[in-house]
């Protein structure tokens, strides 16, 4: 799990340098040295302008991947000069969980369950992305974020070189400035991200789950009979109609396909309802989202398919988006003393995300996988 908000990949920077100076960031400074010219064209000390320019070059979209790497929860980061007193300001937007008032209920959404930020596991970390058109055709999304605005103290910003420095002086000054900024920004932003990451494990108790919606017992036979009747009628028309009539049968084709699709969707919905009902049992994991039982929080999903990015095991339903149905194997006690009974997969995920978490096996064989 990545705990720093910002870090510098020195190895990548050295390995991908194009010139003899040994730094990819230096290459970008060389190509954009003119961007620093106006830092000395003002009466005030050019600290903030120089730092903002050095940072902008060190991050995307100029450097991709950036000299400075950022935590996947960071949507945007900018450094800019204050128009009030010329100091340096930090502006960071972070992906957050949905507000507490909107969790665990669909009443505010007109009866719909709104999904939060889509994500997938890449290189052992979560990568967030905006929902695609295909995603939005299936579900509505709420994409919460928080915007942090703060002053970076003047004594934490390195002074730039003298007016019109040589290229090597400019390169080294920019690099030292960015390194100092990474440390300062980490001191402010990393604790916020750590708090957000831990909050993901604060989940409602089993009693707050909504009961399984009722569905008529006769719905499955009825839709099967309707689909069969339409398919039979369509087949009869195709076999008996002449060539001049067959062009008019396209509506029957569409009707048969529509009923088949509706039957598949209803069957999948019924299966999901059964999974939700099963998740309410006393001996089932209390965490309301799924994991890979062998590798933890390593699931990726697309539509109604989900799979483990580690072992490749797949499920023909949204395993991540539905409550966990694995048997309880552990008791997890959080920092405030609250407890929850969880499965092997969630125990693996908690060990990864919350080092030092208090996990106690329910049976002697727990954690054997």
pLDDT of 151 over the 50 cut: yes
| Whether residue 262 sits in one domain with residue 161 | no
pLDDT of 202 over the 60 cut: no
Two tokens, residue 196: 């957000």
What is the predicted pLDDT for the residue at 188?
95
| Whether residue 287 sits in one domain with residue 314 | yes
Give 103-133 pLDDT, tens digit per residue: 555 566 665 667 788 877 665 566 788 988 9
Mean of per-residue pLDDT scores for the chain: 80
More reliable by pLDDT, 51 or 3: 51
pLDDT confidence band for 39 (50 / 70 / 90): confident
Mean pLDDT of 212-239: 63
| Whether residue 302 sits in one domain with residue 181 | no
What is the predicted pLDDT for the residue at 216?
46
CA angle 122, 128, 134 (to 5 degrees): 105
Whether residue 369 is contained in a domain is answered as yes
What is the predicted pLDDT for the residue at 207?
37
| Whether residue 232 sits in one domain with residue 191 | no
Question: Domains in the chain: how many in total?
Answer: 4
| Whether residue 182 sits in one domain with residue 88 | yes
Whether residue 207 is contained in a domain is answered as no
Mean pLDDT of 7-16: 92
| Whether residue 154 sits in one domain with residue 36 | yes
Helix (H) or strand (E) holding 146: strand 145-152
| Whether residue 73 sits in one domain with residue 58 | yes
CA-to-CA distance for 92 and 136, rounded, in angstroms? 27
Name the β-bridge partners of 327. 284
What is the predicted pLDDT for the residue at 106?
55
CA-to-CA distance for 33 and 166, rounded, in angstroms? 10
Q: Which domain holds residue 131?
A: 98-143
pLDDT confidence band for 248 (50 / 70 / 90): low
67: which residues sit within 8 A by CB, 6+ positions away?
Answer: 8, 9, 13, 24, 25, 28, 57, 58, 59, 178
228: which residues sit within 8 A by CB, 6+ positions away?
Answer: none
What is the predicted pLDDT for the residue at 206?
41
Q: Whole-model pTM? A: 0.60
| Whether residue 89 sits in one domain with residue 15 | yes
Whether residue 208 is contained in a domain is answered as no
Domain boundary among 200, 231, 247: 200
Whether residue 331 is contained in a domain is answered as yes
Give 53-63 pLDDT, tens digit per residue: 999 999 989 99
Mean pLDDT of 254-264: 69
What is the predicted pLDDT for the residue at 337?
76
């Amino acid at each position: 799990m990545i705990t720093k908000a910002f870090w510098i990949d020195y190895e990548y920077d050295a390995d991908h340098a194009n010139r003899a100076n040994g730094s990819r960031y230096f290459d970008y400074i060389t190509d954009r040295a003119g961007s620093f010219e106006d830092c000395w064209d003002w009466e005030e000390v050019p600290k903030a302008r120089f730092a903002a320019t050095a940072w902008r070059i060190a991050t995307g979209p100029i450097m991709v991947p950036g000299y400075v790497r950022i935590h996947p929860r960071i949507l945007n980061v900018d450094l800019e000069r204050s128009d009030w007193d010329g100091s340096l300001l930090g502006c960071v937007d972070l992906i957050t969980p949905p507000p507490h008032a909107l969790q665990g209920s669909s009443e505010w959404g007109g009866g719909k369950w709104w999904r939060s930020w889509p994500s997938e596991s890449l290189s052992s970390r979560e990568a967030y992305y905006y929902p695609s058109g295909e995603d939005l055709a299936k579900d509505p999304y709420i994409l919460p974020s928080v915007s942090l605005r703060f002053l970076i103290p003047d004594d934490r910003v390195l002074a730039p070189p003298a007016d019109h420095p040589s290229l090597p002086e400019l390169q080294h000054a920019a690099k030292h400035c960015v390194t100092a900024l990474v440390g300062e920004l980490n001191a402010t932003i990393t604790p916020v991200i750590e708090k957000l990451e831990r909050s993901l494990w604060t989940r409602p108790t089993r009693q707050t789950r909504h009961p399984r919606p009722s569905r008529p017992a006769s719905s499955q036979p009825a839709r099967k009979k309707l689909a069969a009747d339409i398919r039979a009628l369509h087949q009869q028309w195709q076999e008996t109609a002449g060539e001049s009539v067959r062009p008019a049968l396209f509506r029957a084709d569409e009707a048969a396909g529509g009923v088949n699709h509706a039957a598949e969707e209803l069957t999948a919905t019924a299966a999901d309802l059964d999974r939700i009902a099963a998740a309410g049992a006393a001996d089932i994991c209390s965490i309301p989202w799924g994991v890979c039982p062998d590798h933890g929080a390593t699931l990726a999903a697309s539509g109604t398919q989900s799979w483990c990015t580690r072992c490749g095991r797949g499920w023909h339903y949204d395993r991540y988006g539905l409550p966990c149905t694995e048997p309880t194997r552990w008791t997890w006690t959080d920092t405030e003393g609250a407890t929850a009974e969880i499965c092997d997969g969630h125990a693996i995920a908690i060990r990864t995300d919350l080092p030092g978490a208090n996990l106690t096996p329910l049976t002697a064989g727990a954690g054997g996988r």
